[in-house]
Amino acid sequence: RKEVEQDPGPFNVPEGATVAFNCTYSNSASQSFFWYRQDCRKEPKLLMSVYSSGNEDGRFTAQLNRASQYISLLIRDSKLSDSATYLCVVNPRAAGGYNKLIFGAGTRLAVHP
Amino acid sequence: EPEVTQTPSHQVTQMGQEVILRCVPISNHLYFYWYRQILGQKVEFLVSFYNNEISEKSEIFDDQFSVERPDGSNFTLKIRSTKLEDSAMYFCASRILGRGDQPQHFGDGTRLSIL
């Protein structure tokens, strides 16, 4: 089983649509979770951290289900500028330590007019 | 907003040559990392560095690779004898001291092309 698994997409949606991405991770001891976005041939940029209670940042909502080892990202009212690859990222280490990040392969989103 | 900066943006090197990739992490960050991304593939961890020593490395980071923090600001990745399969985007990242849930911030990468 892959350490972090995502549906590669692409998800092609019209502007204004709501879209959801899912991710599963294999290491039940993982402690920290993030969504990054990556534009073509650019660096990963932090979109948001993911907390157990779920968290929201504007149009973006992230959820974590530790029992199912499942993370989700919901984007409401999609904009053309949301077109990118969304990376599910897990820190498999307990609190403290050096905390390498394990990346999923990403889910591509294309928002069209 | 403070940034991680990387130089050069693109490096073209003959196979077998040594290459040094440079990074300036965010100034109050204490954990440093190198990742690579082969074209079309996922981002992969190479090495983490803290308190002037390697704290963890992946299987990719063999004895052809080394890292150094030669002064208070730069963090370098050296590949001693490059191979064709080293062609990739190399990202430097840094993180503030604190719990593991602090995110890592990435530089805009060096594209390494081995001929």
Amino acid A75: pLDDT = 98
Residue of B1, B43, B106 to mutate, interface with A, max A Cβ within 10 Å: B43
Q: Which residue of B has its CA nearest to A94?
A: B100
For testing the chain B interface, which of A40, A47, A98, A107 should be mutated: the one with the most B CBs within 10 Å? A98
Residue of B nearest to A2 (CA): B42
pLDDT of residue A112: 96
| pLDDT (tens digit per residue) in B60-74 | 999 999 999 988 789
Q: How confident is the model at residue B101 (pLDDT cuts 50, 70, 90)?
A: confident
Contact map slice: A 17-36 vs B, CB within 8 A: 31-32, 34
DSSP B13-34: E-TT--EEEEEE--TTEEEEEE
Using CA atoms, how far residue B21 sits from A33, A38, A54, B56, in Å, is: 28, 21, 38, 19
pLDDT band at A94 (very low <50, low <70, confident <90, very high): low
Instruction: Name every residue in B having a CB less than 8 A away from some CB of A.
Output: 31, 33, 35, 41-45, 48, 50, 55-56, 58, 89, 91, 93, 95, 99-101, 103-109, 111
Per-residue pLDDT at B99: 66
Question: With an 8 Å Cβ cutoff, are B100 and A93 in contact?
Answer: yes
pLDDT score recorded for residue A2: 82
> What's the rounded Cα separation, in Å, for the pair A19 and B77?
39
Residue in chain B lying closest to A52 (CA): B101
Query: CB of B96 within 8 A of CB of B83?
Result: no
